[in-house]
Chain A
């Protein structure tokens, strides 16, 4: 795994630099420089993400197909970029925190409080990663439903049988996509309508008890809530002030902010257990200079979210939103369908089916890498957490304060 390979070289660098620097007196300047560079890189990376064109013309599938290089906000490829960026920030952060300095610093105020808080955030981020991997699984489920519809509706001429098949898949799709967050924990209540083979077609069969088909979610604990986790992660997030601002408190704060933002954005995009209230929850304080790109993104996503929250979308993933629109149109079409099909509609439907097919193709290409990347983020966070804990233990020993 790349995570582990990376690990080796990183540790190598730490030890080399620590040994070099330990003896040197004038490393304070170097530290300040590192901090500034880190801040600049974080700022640049988010500005870059913000400048990705947010909109492509979703009505023409060909346009969408040709503009794959520009990634619309919250599309699969955009999320991959976001995660790439996260991994870069994370590596740099660890270097700033642990490399080239006397690690005993991190057991002294204010870091003795800030670092454990940071570690606590990372654990919550791990849970979010798990929930999101799980959420991607449900996106894939939507993809499969859409694929059925596409393969059924591609038949020419369309017959009742295939339309019926498409209709069933599409209504499942639309139900899956339009989930009311406030209805409770994600799609727990709707799992019954999620799958084939339930008597009574695509609609919930009341006589099946709620308990029998619990949450479709895999790795997530029953009462776990994405909203609560994000809120807990950002509740004690305070920018360092005064003298603290020039020390290590700053990068710890920055990295915390980055983690919170990235997790918030993932939760925004991917269906996830209980996201209520997050649309208006802004994890990043608005006045920060270096976070302007992040704040811009946050505002855009927030607006989008508020719009969709009323309708109750399962996730803001760009592909899913388009899928939802097309799905709804095609459901209407299948409901009104009579054999043989009216000629006037053929072209329109064909266009929609083709676009839906294109989205499916993109999901097919993108979801597995996305999932793997989230897993990589997961492993990386675990790894860093361990290293920081080690450093804390060590620092605790040196200063004689019992850590554990």
Chain B
């Protein structure tokens, strides 16, 4: 029967009264219960009258003849309660005084006939002969009085300190609950019905009082968080350009936050005490609701303190990226704080308050924290589904790492079933972020492919695309491990680019075959990186063709190649990923361009110094010699004029080039000069044809690749 449901449960929970209470007086009394009780009993009819009178006059007249106090009656009640089982048992065994049973049946329970089983009736009938001593009612009166007094504000809890009065009241509430439970069987009894109704009413009143008390303490005794956590927003704004939010552990504040949610120990034990009374008093739901509503608000407040704001998905989509970046930084901090401090603090707290009811604390915790987690995840999700663009990659990865690194701590706090749900939610968001990161990273391919500008960079300098791509990759490689993981775990998505899909699947395949991560070539991320590098190469190759001068296109390739190699060597992550072999290949490519350049520019120049046609039958042909000097001078001048406008900004490369040029040109020129200058007449002729000494050549070579358009050696010479 439904209406019976609560009662046996309560008995079980409390262990009263059947098993006897552990308090000392109980045992003493238990030995001679009947004597004790019967001495104090009053005739039954009187009891009834007194109850009625008392209900009306109780406020004006507190016990007059015998002075009852809560303390004294409490002892009586305890004795009475502990003797009740025996009394009941005795009554059940004894043959019944039928008059009272009949009376009851005629009167009260006729309307309930259909519902109550015979056994119930029997039980009621059997205990209805029980006599309830005077002091029970007195006790209830006193409790009522106490509750009214407390309710009106005297002795109200201050900062979680229970006043002595409140402590006494709590004890009393316990007793009245026990009375209510123990005497419940008599509720339809015509003699005791009114008294029991009265007990029930006062018990509810006490419960209502405890509700208020419980809420007040929960709400008001928390050490104010503002005292402990410094204003988070302020801090955030102090360093807005913190690139990797993960590098901002607020260690100072976490130490202090160990006490989250910040209730002093004695308050916790008071809350525990009240919760126990409320739950055993049948008000479990009320108690839980209060806990939930207060703690929810408190959580809201705590998150707010960290700067976390509730944002709708729609709002996030419309926000500027820099505003979102700020939210992400706050989010990361909030999530970490929750995972490492708040959630476990809450769990300890709820477990302490509901120490005797593990299933209650478990469900309160799960419901409360699940709400917070989902709320947090919604923001991450909102960011993950926002439009993708290259600059978002790193923040997405920050979010991804935060979820990855902090989630396990969260799972552990939940009971299995709920942990699975939370896990699924977190993993879903992580997937979303991972897929978005892959898509952004792979989009680099497309931005390279689509960079089809037809204007060559002046002077063969490093192309902006090279700079952009390499800096992006270098930055990305700071997240190398995470990117490796992301590619491994989330790259099952179909790549919309059908041309590259097949390679992509191959990559996955080979990755599956070779799970050991030792070989970086096998990871899908480094494959993607390689693909990007190849594309960049191809693109640069195409761009180099835009230069009409082959030498210049060699310089362009050298510049860009050098830049790429330098970037890769400067970052161990990316170096590792690309591998030594790749770098060696790169260096040899560069050497080839270097050779190509030498050949294209300087071998031609040296052609002017060939001995071909210079000698005729052992004699130097002077006009040819003059011609050779003339063309050498002109060509060198031309080279100097053009190539000093070219740009090699890498100093090392610049000096390498100059050295190698000097090494080729100067000895050849010097020996040519040494051998043939004598054939020209000293003076005018020499002046006309030998315009350059070897030292001059060296100087001019040193002026190459400076990106300086004005330097013309002819002009300077004059």
Contact = CB atoms under 8 A, between A and B. Distances in A.
Interface of A: 1, 3-4, 11, 14-15, 103, 120, 123-124, 126-127, 130, 137, 141, 144, 147-148, 151, 154-157, 159-162, 164-165, 168, 191, 194-199, 201, 213-214, 216, 218-222, 224, 229, 339-340, 343, 346, 357, 379, 382, 385-386, 389-391, 393-394, 397, 400, 402, 404
Interface string B200-215: 1111110110011111
B319 to A, nearest CB: 12
Interface string B110-121: 011001100000
A159 B286 contact: no
B387 interface: yes
A120 to B, nearest CB: 8
B450 A197 contact: no
Contact of B310 (A151, A222, A394): A222
Given A1-B428, A197-B286, A124 B378 contact: no
Nearest to A225: B312
B314 interface: yes
A198 B212 contact: yes
Contact of A196 (B197, B201, B211): B211
B174 interface: no
Contact of A123 (B193, B194, B198, B317): B317
A221 B431 CA distance: 25
B375 interface: yes
Given A154-B3, A219-B310, A391-B496, A195 B289 contact: yes
Given A379-B428, A389-B385, 6 more contacts: A161-B180, A195-B293, A218-B371, A221-B309, A339-B194, A394-B497
Given A123-B317, A160-B200, A220 B310 contact: yes
Interface residues of B, number: 73
Contact of B204 (A165, A199, A390): A165
Contacts of B388: 389, 393, 404
B229 interface: no
Given A151-B6, A157-B188, A393 B196 contact: no
A339 B450 CA distance: 86
Contacts of A197: 211-216, 286, 290
B74 to A, nearest CB: 20
Mostly, the A contact residues are: helix
Contact of B293 (A4, A162, A216, A219): A216
Contacts, number: 163
A382 B432 contact: yes
Contacts of A214: 297, 300
Given A127-B313, A214-B300, A404-B389, A161 B428 contact: no
Contacts of B208: 164, 168, 201
Most chain B Cβ neighbours within 10 Å, of A154, A168, A218, A346: A218
26 contacts: A4-B431, A127-B313, A130-B313, A147-B285, A156-B112, A156-B115, A156-B187, A157-B112, A160-B197, A164-B201, A164-B205, A196-B211, A196-B215, A196-B289, A196-B290, A198-B215, A199-B212, A219-B310, A220-B312, A379-B428, A382-B381, A386-B436, A390-B493, A394-B496, A397-B446, A400-B450
B314 A229 contact: yes
Given A198-B215, A219-B310, A161 B286 contact: no
Contacts of A397: 446, 450, 497
B315 interface: yes
Interface in B353-402: 371, 374-375, 378, 381-382, 385, 387-389
Contact of B111 (A220, A346, A386): A346
B439 interface: yes
A219 B285 contact: no
A86 to B, nearest CB: 18
B312 A127 contact: yes
A229 B312 CA distance: 11
Interface in B311-364: 311-315, 317
Contact of B378 (A1, A191, A195, A219): A219
Contacts of A141: 289
Nearest to B120: A156
B72 interface: no
B2 interface: yes
A389 to B, nearest CB: 7
B225 interface: no
A1 B450 CA distance: 39
A157 B187 contact: yes
Nearest to B196: A159
B187 A123 contact: no
A168 B205 CA distance: 11
A360 to B, nearest CB: 12
Nearest to B151: A199
Nearest to A14: B494
B314 A127 contact: yes
B310 A390 contact: no
B305 interface: no
Nearest to A200: B212
A218 B424 CA distance: 20
A1 B424 contact: yes
List the 7 closest A-B pairs by CB distance, nearest first.
A161-B200, A197-B215, A394-B496, A161-B204, A160-B201, A197-B211, A159-B200
B435 interface: yes
A1 B494 CA distance: 20
Contact of B314 (A14, A124, A137, A159): A124
B443 interface: yes
B296 interface: yes
A208 to B, nearest CB: 10
Nearest to A402: B450
Interface in B430-445: 431-432, 435-436, 439, 443
Contacts of B196: 159
Given A127-B312, A156-B3, A214-B300, A162 B200 contact: yes
A357 B2 CA distance: 11
Interface in B384-423: 385, 387-389
Nearest to B193: A340
A389 B384 CA distance: 12
B108 interface: yes
A90 B282 CA distance: 47
B432 A161 contact: no
A222 B517 CA distance: 48
B176 to A, nearest CB: 10
Nearest to B203: A161
B204 A162 contact: yes
A379 B204 CA distance: 45
Contacts of B112: 156-157
Most chain B Cβ neighbours within 10 Å, of A219, A221, A222, A400: A219
Contact of A130 (B115, B194, B203, B378): B378
Contacts of A155: 3, 187
A272 B355 CA distance: 35
B37 to A, nearest CB: 24
Contacts of B497: 394, 397
A396 B3 CA distance: 68
A195 B115 contact: no
A390 B290 contact: no
B519 to A, nearest CB: 28
A279 to B, nearest CB: 23
A198 B3 CA distance: 28
